[in-house]
Amino acid sequence: VAISNSEISTFDRCRRKWYLAYYLGMVPSDDPPVGNAILGTRVHAALEGYYGYQLDPSDVLNVLYALEADASPDWKTELMAEREIAVTMVTGYLEWVAETGEDANLRVVAVEQDAEVPLPGMPGVLLKARMDQVVYSEETGMLSFLDHKTAATFDSHDIMDLNPQFKFYSIVQRLLAGPDGPPVSGGIINTLRRVKRTERSKPPYYRRDGFRYNDVQLIAALERVTAIAGQIRQARAMLDDTYQRAGGDLHAVNALQRRELYPSPIATLCRWDCPFVAICPAMDDGSDWPGIMTRSGKYRQDNPYRYYRNDPLRAVRDALGKG
Ligand code: SF4
């Protein structure tokens, strides 16, 4: 079984959310085609096109938004407005990179690299990561992962010691390299601010910082990952047993999900970071919540790891005749 940082973070944040998203594979069926998350995904694709395939990132965005406008004609106005922000972000980024020489000593080794590596001490469990870029520094002779972020601020640059995603990537990077592998040197965070760049907006709009965790930090992070991966494995075994033995009987499932996969509500967070906020209370009040989920039409089942199979650039390269 392969476990990503997202799955580990979801389980750590709220076991019920993990159960719904990762065990049952439920996702909202009516996610809008615009918004901060999908904008970030499209900007990532534009940068992947630029660094991996020498495509103009504005061309990539134009194609992605045109495809989405065809698929979701009711959202055309919002899509065109969002495209403008995205194109401003990437064109300004290219100017910034040219002015500052940020890319001068970095050679791109891979884009969107999918990595899987055995978790030490837990046979059969793999750690799974997709790194935006792997780069080789001609200055230091070391490999790093480089992560593109789109955000309103640069706050995440100032709390790197707390960042579980980058510690997870650093662990994967170290395990992949092995004791005799190429020298690796942590990561680089590269943030494009999500702003329109009007006269009133204030620069800077771009920032890049390298970081590295020491061995003690990485061992502590590995211990955390190992502990949570063990809990996930145990939770899956209990759920498999309950569904197989009791055939999904709601009483039996509820007894388990309430006791072992209890919710961890943080009211202010749940409202904006959980797609299950509408169904969550029904899981504790005797309702037929699986029936409600199905009948509402607001959720569908999907593979929570589908993201790893997605290749948004495929359609773009075909449309641009550069497949
Ligand atoms: S709404 Fe909150 S408590 Fe309920 S599943 Fe989501 S994160 Fe957990």
Q: Give distance in angstroms: CA of 157 to centre of ligand 1.
A: 27
**Which of 188, 55, 53, 72 lies closest to 131 in space, CA to CA?**
188
Residue nearest to atom 5 of ligand 1 (CA): 17
C-alpha 43/C-alpha 57 separation (Å) is: 8
Residue nearest to atom 1 of ligand 1 (CA): 277
Per-residue tens of pLDDT for the chain, all 323 residues: 999 999 999 999 999 999 999 999 999 998 899 999 999 999 999 999 999 999 999 999 999 999 999 999 999 999 999 999 999 999 999 999 999 999 999 999 999 999 999 999 999 999 999 999 999 999 999 999 999 999 999 999 999 999 999 999 999 999 999 888 888 989 999 999 999 888 888 999 999 999 999 999 999 999 999 999 999 999 999 999 999 998 989 999 999 999 999 999 998 999 989 999 999 999 999 999 999 999 999 999 999 887 666 777 888 888 887 66
Q: Give distance in angstroms: CA of 245 to centre of ligand 1.
A: 27
Those residues with Cβ within 8 angstroms of residue 317's Cβ, 6 or more apart along the chain or in another chain: 49, 53, 55, 323
**Do residues 164 and 172 lie in contact, with contact meaning Cβ atoms separated by under 8 Å?**
no
- Residue 73, Ramachandran bin (φ over 0: left; ψ between -120 and 50: alpha; else beta): alpha
C-alpha 35/C-alpha 82 separation (Å) is: 8
| Surface-to-core class of residue 267, CB atoms within 10 Å of its CB (0-12 exposed, 13-18 middle, 19+ buried) | exposed
Q: Give distance in angstroms: CA of 277 to centre of ligand 1.
A: 6
Q: For residue 126, give both structure tokens.
A: 């793999």
**Which of 305, 301, 323, 314 lies closest to 29 in space, CA to CA?**
301
Note the pTM of the prediction, 2 decimals. Answer: 0.93
Q: Give distance in angstroms: CA of 302 to centre of ligand 1.
A: 19
Residue nearest to atom 4 of ligand 1 (CA): 280
Ligand 1 pocket mutation pick from 10, 272, 274, 293 by most atoms within 8 angstroms of CB: 274
